[in-house]
Amino acid sequence: MVLLDNLNLKGNRLGQQKDSCIDCVKGLLDCPSVTTVDLSHNYLKDPAVVDDVLVKMENLKVLYCQGNPFVKQIPNYRKAMIVKLKNLMYLDDRPVFPEDRRRAEAHMRGGWDEERAMMKIIKKEKEDEYNANHEAFRLMIDDVKK
């Protein structure tokens, strides 16, 4: 068993050979301990690499794919990747926050309308939390004054 944590394959011309681009990254499945993979700036063309390899990497938390042709072939790339890769905490150049995941899941369920509805829910939750904290602070101040 290979106990590899981080793997940097950036700019290695993966996918440029005659082999399928999936074959050139299938070896990642032999390394279940990998949490970080940098596949950026290669020649990976087939978007099936996501479902055939990346989704099967259960410990994957950090992924860099920018600069590969398949990225442009996946509609709503960032949202789709966030939904498919459940443990992802960082994608390409940005972190994946819980709010991002909720919005992406809503978008995949019902498009932009569902995502907008989720944004309203998230905004309301933040306002409620702020108001609860404000009220708790006010009560604390009132207790001190007594």
pLDDT of residue 13: 87
Tens-digit pLDDT profile for residues 31-54: 889 999 999 999 999 999 999 999
* Count of other CB atoms within 10 angstroms of residue 92: 16
Could you state, in order of their start, the residue ranges of all structural domains in the chain?
A: 1-96, 97-146
pLDDT of residue 17: 75
CATH architecture of 1-96: Alpha-Beta Horseshoe (3.80)
Which contacts qualify for 7-11: CB closer than 8 Å, 24 or more apart? Answer: 7/31, 7/34, 7/36, 7/37, 7/38, 8/38, 9/37, 9/38, 9/39, 9/42, 10/38, 10/39, 10/40, 10/41, 10/42, 10/64, 11/40, 11/41, 11/42
pLDDT of residue 142: 85
Which regions of the chain are under pLDDT 70?
1-2, 18-20
pLDDT of residue 21: 72
pLDDT of residue 22: 81
